[in-house]
């Protein structure tokens, strides 16, 4: 099963689960009349909406490239994540509003013990689903799955926190704690929303993923071929579950087209070995120049003009620069 189909199948199951858990939470609120449980149920409405938005985005992002979308449809996942983040923020604000109202006019709570059991059960299901979503999303480079998984995990922690608060109410009989607990976890929800929206905007704006770039640079440094004299102008762009990488690779100037292409194939194979098949590479080959000799440690080179002086280690800074590396003489 390819990554797009796997992502879509997981998101479909998440959407179904979110509907079932929403029904359970509404039933728990109907039994208890707890504003904390009501706010948790309101947050679950967002889960349901976000689940289906994520499902649609993964359906679109899984479509093959076409004339109108030569890089594929993966950018829609960033839009989906942004919408989900906004919805999470709205839920957090609604929770705070309802909690403040309840502080002035507390509701009587009923069958709290049964309500606690129900919401703890929903938290356990959300925990399992959220962890699986984030793990698979990181593996398949799917922001939609990662955002959905983080949303489920945030819902888990919120529900567990509410459960703890309800236990305090159950034993202390202090009803206003119901609203205080809801406000505390609404603030956590708002912070989660901020992080999701921030990451989605970064993807839409093609902001550099420094963690991914560092991992890529380390991989290339640790598996460097002696014919890879220099590497520069490296850029990584995310399109949903796809990674597009382009760079300039400097090889010996006397290599014919087939030999240069063989080096590009080795570079492509190395990247796919460590980053999977969801990577599309565009590598431009350059021939070395006279000043390249000082940084080239290739053995038995009959065309060497100057002695080797120092091997330049690739870093996130110099590998992104759009110029060939050289040793500058002071």
pLDDT of 23-78, one tens digit each?
A: 998 898 888 878 778 777 877 777 777 777 767 766 766 666 666 655 555 566 66
Are 65 and 165 part of one and the same domain?
A: yes
Distance CA 167, CA 158 (A): 14
Question: Is residue 97 within 8 Å of residue 39, measured between CB atoms?
Answer: no
Please report the pLDDT score of residue 104 as a whole number.
Answer: 78
Are 215 and 196 part of one and the same domain?
A: no
Are 303 and 182 part of one and the same domain?
A: no
Are 73 and 184 part of one and the same domain?
A: yes
pTM: 0.56
Are 193 and 213 part of one and the same domain?
A: no
Are 147 and 10 part of one and the same domain?
A: yes
Are 179 and 224 part of one and the same domain?
A: no
Pairing of strands 279-287, 230-239: unpaired
Residue 94's pLDDT band (boundaries 50, 70, 90)?
A: confident
In CATH, what number is assigned to the domain containing residue 311?
3.30.70.1350
Are 65 and 106 part of one and the same domain?
A: yes
Are 152 and 273 part of one and the same domain?
A: no
Counting the structural domains of the chain, the total is 2
Question: Among residues 161, 176, 204, which one ends one of the domains?
Answer: 204
Distance CA 213, CA 202 (A): 15
Are 77 and 36 part of one and the same domain?
A: yes
Distance CA 65, CA 85 (A): 27
Domain around 300: 208-330
Question: Among residues 204, 239, 261, which one ends one of the domains?
Answer: 204
pLDDT of 215-224, one tens digit each?
A: 888 888 889 8
List helix spans (H) across the chain.
Answer: 3-32, 35-61, 76-104, 112-140, 143-172, 177-204, 210-222, 257-275
Closest Cα to residue 144, out of 153, 154, 155, 133?
Answer: 133
Question: Among residues 204, 224, 258, which one ends one of the domains?
Answer: 204
């Amino acid at each position: 099963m390819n990554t797009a189909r796997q992502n879509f199948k997981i998101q479909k199951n998440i959407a179904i689960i979110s509907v079932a858990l929403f029904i359970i939470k509404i039933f728990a609120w109907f039994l208890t009349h707890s504003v904390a449980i009501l706010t948790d149920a309101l947050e679950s409405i967002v889960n349901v909406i976000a689940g289906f938005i994520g499902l649609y985005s993964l359906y679109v992002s899984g479509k093959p490239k076409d004339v109108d979308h030569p890089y594929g449809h993966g950018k829609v996942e960033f839009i989906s994540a942004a919408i989900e983040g906004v919805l999470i923020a709205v839920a957090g604000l609604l929770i705070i509003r309802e909690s403040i109202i309840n502080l002035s006019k507390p509701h009587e709570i009923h069958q709290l013990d049964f309500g606690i059991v129900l919401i703890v059960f929903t938290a356990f299901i959300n925990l399992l689903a959220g962890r699986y979503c984030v793990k698979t999303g990181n593996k398949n480079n799917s922001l939609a799955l990662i955002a959905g998984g983080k949303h489920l995990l945030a819902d888990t922690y919120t529900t567990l926190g509410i459960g703890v608060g309800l236990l305090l109410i159950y034993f202390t009989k202090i009803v206003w704690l119901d609203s205080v607990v809801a406000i505390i976890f609404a603030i956590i929800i708002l912070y989660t929303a901020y992080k999701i929206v921030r990451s989605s905007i970064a993807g839409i704006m093609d902001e550099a993923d420094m963690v991914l770039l560092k991992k890529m640079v380390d991989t290339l440094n640790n598996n460097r071929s002696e014919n890879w004299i220099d590497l520069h102008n490296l850029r990584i762009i995310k399109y949903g579950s796809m990674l597009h990488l382009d760079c300039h690779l400097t090889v010996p100037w006397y290599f014919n087209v087939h030999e240069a292409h063989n080096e590009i194939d080795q570079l492509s194979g190395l990247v796919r070995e460590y980053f999977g098949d969801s990577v599309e590479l565009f590598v431009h080959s350059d021939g070395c120049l006279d000043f390249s000799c000082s940084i080239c440690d290739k053995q038995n080179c009959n065309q060497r003009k100057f002695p080797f002086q120092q091997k330049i280690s690739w870093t996130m800074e110099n590998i992104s620069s759009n110029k060939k590396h050289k040793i500058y003489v002071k």
